[in-house]
Amino acid sequence: MIKKFIQRVFGGKASTPPAKAPHGWRVYSQAEHGIHRDDLSHAAINVCEGLQKEGYDAFVVGGAVRDLLLGRHPKDFDVATSATPEQVRAVFRRARIIGRRFRLVHVMFRDETIEVSTFRSNQAAAEGDEASAHVDEHGRLLRDNVFGSREDDAIRRDFTMNALFYDPTRQEVWDYVHGVADIQKKRVVIIGDPEARYREDPVRMLRAARLAAKLEFAIDGPTEAPIRGLAPLLDNVPEARLFDEMLKLLLSGHAHAGLERLRALGLHKGLMPVLDQLFDAADSRPFTVLALQRTDERIAEGKGVSPAFLFAALFWFPLKQRVAQLEAKGIRPLQALHEGMDETLDRQRKTLSIPRRLDPLIKEIWISQPRFLLRSKPRAFRLLAVPRFRASYDFLALRAEAGDADAELAAWWERFQFASEAEQEAMLLPDDEPKKKKRRRRKKTSPGEGGGGAADNADPAPSP
């Protein structure tokens, strides 16, 4: 679809010449851009039409328009309007205003939520009035509720490809910043002065890497130039925002390419400094790359992906390294594993706020790995009965494929979990661990009989 679109806009014969707006704006007709109303969700169309009937401007904006032009199916649809948040809420029965930094409205239609924003402008902040108080000492925009015109709203957006407006009623695409041309040239271009825009919101640097990887675009030279020097600005961004952006990258379907982009731009050092170790070390790189590739494949096939599984894979080798260090200090293996798990996750949380709700599954996957080595009757069946056994087994299979675990071990467990009861019994291995001797209960004696005191009755120290 993108080839036909480019031919229509840049080399094909248009049925009617494109409308020209002031300052070089362009309006593309349906015959030129090729987007059909059927490509949009009913909720997005209803929101736009509902606002337009009340006399407000309303457009589908941002990444949804970009993806539709590229022949992709958007996951979410956002709407921009001339109506204020209070006016939007008055139009729709199921609507609520959210946010302080950016006041938005969520409009609900059945199981779909459309995010509606009012056209915004940075003009007031630039002139140094009240809005300038909403910028921190690094230039980061703390609040952005200065409303403006449609053109203002386009100019304040991050990248030209995300500043396109689509009117589902007239079926027109409005382009204020040459976003269509940049899509045609497959390049990520920031709007305005790159350094100033990154200072306003340092997360835009992460977004540039993610979009370039996801769309297989190049980052425009001036857009890329200041990134490496401004990377420390990410230290001033709330950890929760960084986690959300990293999760988008990891679940974009291009996680491997995205993380490589982060490294190339020097953006990983304050987020996931372990990436250098994971991608450069001979023992960890095959497993890390394979885990990311399998994640991308599942997303391409429309299958679900567990963030906990992915983080368990990314931090597996740092965990192994830490456990080895603890064992070298004389700490018993099981205790070293538990301490290592906590330390590994806590260390990462200093830069990336991984929700603690993911900890149970991450730890369950990790702690199950040594248990796969025990294939005797009681232990094998106990492990098989664990509620999330399959995630732990998939992790083992991934390790085996990357050469980090015994392939025969993974194959045994693949057969065992699907075998009949009789076949399972035949597959079990003898218990190779010595059974603990039961402590003989001593007969109580009177103080004068025998010399057994408390020390004589104490349990022996358990073997590691």
pLDDT tens-digit map of 226-282:
999 999 999 888 888 899 999 999 999 999 999 999 999 999 887 888 888 888 888
Least confident of 116-125, 231-240, 342-351, 373-382: 116-125
Q: Would you say residue 83 lies in a domain?
A: yes
Tens of pLDDT, residue by residue over 130-164, are 444 454 555 444 455 588 899 999 999 999 999 99
Of 166, 185, 204, which marks where a domain is finished?
185
Q: Would you say residue 52 lies in a domain?
A: yes
| pTM metric for this prediction | 0.79
Q: Which two tokens stand for residue 322?
A: 């830490």
Catalytic center residues: 76, 78, 158
pLDDT value at 288 more than 50: yes
Mean pLDDT value across residues 401-425 = 96
Q: How far apart are CA 372 and CA 393, in angstroms?
A: 8
DSSP-assigned letters across all residues of 323-378: HHHHHHTT--HHHHHHHHHHHHHHHHHTTS---GGGHHHHHHHHHHTGGGG--SHH
Tens of pLDDT, residue by residue over 204-241, are 999 999 999 999 999 999 999 999 999 999 988 888 88
pLDDT value at 4 more than 50: no
Of 140, 166, 185, which marks where a domain is finished?
185
Q: How far apart are CA 341 and CA 352, in angstroms?
A: 16
Q: Would you say residue 442 lies in a domain?
A: no
Q: Would you say residue 289 lies in a domain?
A: no
Residue 271's pLDDT is 82
Adjacent-strand bridge partners of 403 = none
- Domain tally for the chain? 2
Q: Would you say residue 262 lies in a domain?
A: no
Q: Would you say residue 44 lies in a domain?
A: yes
Of 134, 162, 185, which marks where a domain is finished?
185
Q: Would you say residue 245 lies in a domain?
A: no
Which residue range forms the structural domain that includes residue 36? 1-185
Angle at the Cα of 64 from the Cα atoms of 62 and 69, rounded to 5 degrees: 105
What is the domain-level CATH number for residue 3?
3.30.460.10
Residue 18's pLDDT is 37
Q: Would you say residue 155 lies in a domain?
A: yes
